[in-house]
Amino acid sequence: MNNASSNYQPSLHRYALITAGCTFVLLLAGALVTSTGSSLAVPDWPLSFGKFFPEMRGGVLFEHGHRMVAGTVALLTVGLAIYTQMVEKRAWVKKLAWSALGAVLLQAVLGGVTVLLHLPTEVSVAHAGLAQIFFCFIISLSLVTSKTWIEDGDHRIQSTGTIRKAALTVTVLIYFQILVGAVTRHSGFGLAIPDWPLSNGQLLPADWPLAVLLQFSHTRIGAFLVLGLVNWIAFKVCTQYTHEKSLFWPAANAALLVWLQCFLGILVISTEKSIIPTSVHVITGAALLASMLVLTLNSFRLFQKESVS
């Protein structure tokens, strides 16, 4: 955090951005594996049908394709950790990079374990949840290695501190909303309530088995909570800090994404979990989380001095 002792490394920042882009593609590839029902198309791990590169047919295209993209991201992350260690002066940024590497390696193991154990919900959800955490690591690295973060480090603005606390709370809330969505998806409860906004034609479900409870929590309670809070914080930021680009743009982006995400959620139900809306719903959730994370991190950076004094 000591900006004075840090120097902007454009190549490191670009490398982190490329890794972030590839991670986003990886999230889409992973979402497609589940959406197309291809999770067990390759029954073995770490090899695929005993080979490094099997015939890319049917579900193998999605599952092995996911493994290939994952391998690329893992290699990029190894490079990112080493490169950060070499050129970065801030110790906490180095730790962040190595943490990202640890996360992606653990993620690979979880991916393998879920295949070998035939997709137990707990492991599949852990795989989905860690994917988002890894993405957050890479997004954070991309942000903290940026020119704005490093060279604009002494810039501070007056605030009551509400924004940063709210941004952090909403970011954590979105993460848990994603986790509930992952549990719903990997438990096969995605259509436990087949309609929206009504529940089997009624305002509330008549019965509340676990499947309905989870789906209702994700598609109604969590969705409305996230929609309301993201719009509230975006309105607050965009009206009070219009000229503070590092707050304005992530907030505006989050406001757009949260509406898109809700629309996609409705599409997922109305199309009975059609492949494209379902997969795009997953990555839009990741993009929303990333936007709120950037807003949170920037708000902590900008409001830090005032909070200390």
Partner 1 sequence: MELKKLLALLAIASLGLTAGCGQKSEDEELMAMANSASKATAVLGTASVAGTVTLTGKAPGTAMFSVDADPVCKAQHTGLVKDETVIADAKGDLKNVIVYVKEGAGNYPAPATSVELVQKGCMYSPHVFGIQVGQPLEIENSDPTLHNVHCLAVTNDSFNVGQPNQGMKTEKKFTKAEMPVKFKCDVHGWMHCFVGVFTNPFYSVTGDNGSFKISGLPAGSYTLVAWQEKYGESAPQKVDIKDGEAKSVNFTFAATN
Q: Establish if 304 lies at the interface with partner 1 (CB under 8 A).
A: yes
Per the omega criterion (within 30 degrees of 0), is the bond before 197 cis? yes
- Candidates 39, 84, 177, 284: give the one binding partner 1 (CB under 8 A): 39
What is the rounded CA–CA span in Å between residue 24 and residue 13? 17
3-class SS of residue 293? helix
Q: Establish if 150 lies at the interface with partner 1 (CB under 8 A).
A: no
Q: Establish if 306 lies at the interface with partner 1 (CB under 8 A).
A: no
β partners of residue 199: 202
Q: Which stretch binds partner 1 (CB under 8 A): 23-31, 116-124, 189-197, 226-234?
A: 116-124
Pure H helices in 187-244: 210-216, 223-240
Sign, CA dihedral 78-62-114-269, equals positive
Q: Which stretch binds partner 1 (CB under 8 A): 18-26, 125-133, 206-214, 226-234?
A: 125-133
Q: How many residues of this chain bind partner 1 (CB under 8 A)?
A: 49
> Do you know the residue count of the chain?
309
Task: Find the shortest distance in angstroms from Cβ 297 to partner 1.
Answer: 7
Q: Which stretch binds partner 1 (CB under 8 A): 168-176, 186-194, 233-241, 246-254?
A: 168-176
Task: Find the shortest distance in angstroms from Cβ 132 to partner 1.
Answer: 9
Q: Establish if 51 lies at the interface with partner 1 (CB under 8 A).
A: yes
Q: Which stretch binds partner 1 (CB under 8 A): 134-142, 197-205, 236-244, 257-265?
A: 134-142
Neighbours of 246 (CB within 10 A): 21
User: Are residues 68 and 22 in contact, defined by beta-carbon separation less than 8 angstroms?
Assistant: no
Which tokens sit at 74? 């893992």
- Candidates 122, 151, 195, 306: give the one binding partner 1 (CB under 8 A): 122
Q: Which stretch binds partner 1 (CB under 8 A): 21-29, 76-84, 226-234, 293-301?
A: 293-301
3-state DSSP helix/strand/coil % of the chain, to nearest 5: 75, 0, 25
Sign, CA dihedral 293-297-302-307, equals positive
Which is nearest to 226 in space by CA: 267, 257, 199?
257
Interaction site with partner 1 (CB under 8 A): 1, 36-44, 49-51, 54-55, 57-60, 63, 92, 96, 99, 103, 113, 117-118, 120, 122-123, 125-126, 129-130, 133, 136-137, 140, 168, 172, 175, 179, 293, 296-297, 300-301, 304, 307
